[in-house]
Structure 1
Amino acid sequence: MNKTVLSLAVLAFTSTAAIAETTVQSCNRTVTFDAAPKRAVSHDVNLTEMMLVLGLADRMVGYSGVSGWTKLDEEMRAGVKELPELAKKYPTKEVLIGADADFLFAGWNYGMKVGGEVTPDTLEPFGIKVYELTESCIHIGEKPKVSMDDMYNDLLNLGKIFEVEERAQELVNGYKSELEAITKTLKQGATPPRVFVYDSGESTPFTAGRYAIPTAMIEAAGGVNILEDLEKSWTTIGWEAVVERNPEIIVIVNYGDVTAEQKREFMMSNPAFANLDAVKNDRFIVLEYIEATPGPRNIKAIKKLASAFGNN
């Protein structure tokens, strides 16, 4: 082979290798993939469903973080029937290494904790690349206020990572069309109802602030989160703030050992909440955990909220 042919061959190989690489933004990191992952793990039920709607079950070796808090519904059970749950709650580094994973889709407080055992840095030496849930990025730096674009961004990035970009784009386009149709039904000029998200807790409530996806969902449905100015994602606050801001509607997130009805009964029977408009008028809406966290069911949940708000 002469030098000219050799140079052309090297150039062609280099160009092909460059084209094969995929780079995505994951929170404050740039992550590059030489090839699509083949042994992926997802954490939490909503992130797992993102993988499933993209048709990636055959690229997965398992999931984690579901049965410790919630139950799989029929749709999810069918989607993961061939996959093992590697950990009921948070996966350990040993569990991921033992599964021979090459990819983890998780988030901060969705399977990973700042300074914890499982992070992008701790997994990198073992060849496990991590993509972080966009909503969760606020835990390690600044980000814009939450929007439905956060969820779309994750689907599109997963599409790039796993080389199913067309499928991801089709899904996102469909969700945007559905949301646009819902928006068109909203009453123009109506005063947005004041909404409180009650996730859990009795002595102090765990709720959604400015950077948690329910804030975007409530706004898309024509309401306003009474804590949308709280510079937090999912967080604990005092009941005083809830009483002071007097929600007209309470959205209960249903998961864990305490049922949605028990959470409603707690608020209905507590004298401290007797003067809340939502309590006086018994206006509660239940969202399943998988609906109230970033994922494919957000859009139908927004439709449910809009109908309950009476804004359409």
Structure 2
Amino acid sequence: MIRLPLAALLLSAAPALAHPVTVQSCDRQVTFDAPPARAVSNDDNLTEMMLVLGLRDRMVGYTGISGWKTLDEQMREGVAELPELSEKYPSKEVLAGAEADFFFAGWNYGMKVGGEVTPDTLTPFGIQVYELTESCIHLGPRPRASMEDLYTDIANLGRIFGVEDRAEALIAGWRDELSALTAGVDRATPLRVFVYDSGQETPFTAGAHAMPTALIEAAGGRNIMDDLDKSWAEIGWEPVIDRNPQVVVIVNYGDVTAGQKIDFMKTSPALAEIDAVRNDRFVVLDYVEATPGPRNISAVETLVHAFAQD
């Protein structure tokens, strides 16, 4: 299994001479006349995409990690020599001050629709933007989340930075691993699965356009909120109770631990009769596994094993 070994994270990738290249980024076509040389990524998962492609030497920093999450050992090694330019979402001034020429981010992954930092507002600074595919739902209708979202982003980054061969090799390896992992999955009666990100009065969860829906389906389950035409959203507990999930996927990050989230569900009288709670069927995915990125394959493996338990 690919586990983002340190050697892979630190490996530099020499650019190919294939520019200019044009890629689709949400509703835009973006042309790069040369590979970016001073890139910035936002968030754990997007930063790992850059690292696994061997692009650390093409980066001047990253943003949006320590304000919400803690770097695990693997990530700390990968970004050891890079500064965190902003603990949360960066400002235009932060990116311009780093003399960035490229920002890899997404909608609600470092940028907000109508916010200060967008592809349009960064253009005057000479900063080009590639948008995370999963996040494009914030700009208008698009297909539900799938594993192809990850492959698309890796392929496009490969083209942008002139490392297509490395990107294609990664994608081919992931496809093979995923096929092997899920070959024996019984899809006749998918398990009902709820994704619990955060919130007690009202839960924050994954809808049709969030990566956990694709991960759950790959592992042989069905997200009970797969009819929610959003990516991540706040809902009420009523539909969760009504749809009675057999398994709860806990997204682990931030100040509230996975154990605390499980304890809340297990001690809430309103949730006591949910099958997952009665049968103590919880599975934990770290944030960087549940959002689009190289650890999605290991997330599917975790889910396959969890779903197979009697």
Q: Which runs of 5+ in 1 are unaligned?
A: 1-17
Are residues 188 and 199 of structure 1, via their aligned partners in 2, closer, same or farther at CA, if it must alter by over 3 Å?
A: closer
Q: CA separation in 2, counterparts of 1:141 and 1:125? A: 25
What SS is found at the alignment partner of 1:20?
Answer: coil
**Residue 20 of structure 1: how far off its partner (Å):** 2.7
Q: What secondary structure sits across from 1:200 in the alignment?
A: coil
2:55 matched residue in structure 1? 56
Per the alignment, residue 68 of structure 2 pairs with 69
TM-score by length of 1: 0.93
**Structure 2 portions without partners, runs of 5+:** 1-16
Q: Deviations over 1:199-244 (max 9, x none)?
A: 0011111100000000000000000000001111011101111011
Q: 5 Å matches for 1:61-210?
A: 61-187=60-186, 189=188, 191-210=189-208
Which amino acid letter does the alignment assign opposite residue 284 of structure 2?
V
Query: Alignment partner for residue 226 of structure 1, among 219, 224, 227?
Result: 224
2: CA distance between counterparts of 1:90 and 1:132? 15
**Cα RMSD for the two superposed structures:** 1.2
Q: TM-score, normalised by structure 2?
A: 0.93
The alpha-carbon deviation at position 188 of structure 1 amounts to 5.3
Letter of the 2:286 counterpart:
E
Deviation at 1:68, TM superposition (A): 0.9
Find the aligned partners of 1:219 and 1:20 in 2 and give their Cα distance.
37
- How far apart are the structure 1 equivalents of 2:172 and 2:137? 26
1:82 and 1:31 map into 2 onto residues whose CA distance is 29
User: Cα–Cα, structure 1 residues 193 and 19, in superposed 2: closer, same or farther, change >3 Å?
Assistant: closer
* Residues 163-312 of structure 1: pairs in structure 2 closer than 5 A: 163-187=162-186, 189=188, 191-310=189-308
- How many Å separate the matches in 2 of 1:275 and 1:117? 45
Which structure: greater helix fraction?
1
Instruction: Please state how far the C-alpha of 1:187 moved relative to its aligned partner.
Output: 2.6
Q: For 1:188 and 1:220, locate their aligned partners in 2 and report how far apart those are by CA, in whole Å.
A: 9
Q: Which amino acid letter does the alignment assign opposite residue 81 of structure 1?
A: A
- SS of 1:202's partner is coil
Query: SS where residue 185 of structure 1 aligns?
Result: coil
* 1:55 to 1:19, Cα distance in 2 relative to 1, 3 A: closer
SS of the residue corresponding to residue 276 of structure 2 reads: helix
CA distance in 1, matches of 2:184, 2:56: 36
Kindly provide the CA deviation profile for residues 150-207 of structure 1, in whole angstroms up to 9, marking residues without a partner as x.
0100000000000000000000000000010012121353x11100000001111110
The aligned counterpart of 2:10 is: none
Residues in 1 aligned to 2:53 and 2:19: alpha-carbon distance in whole angstroms: 20
Contact in 2 for aligned 1:187/1:311 (Cα 8 Å): no
**Mapped partners of 2:248, 2:147: distance in 1:** 21
- Give the share of equivalent positions with the same residue, in percent: 67
Q: Is the 8 A contact 1:222 1:311 kept in 2?
A: no
Q: In the alignment, what sits opposite 2:14?
A: none
Deviation at 1:142, TM superposition (A): 1.4
Cα deviation digits, residues 66-119 of structure 1 (max 9, x gap): 111111111111110010000111111110000000000000000000000000
Letter in 2 for 1:57: R
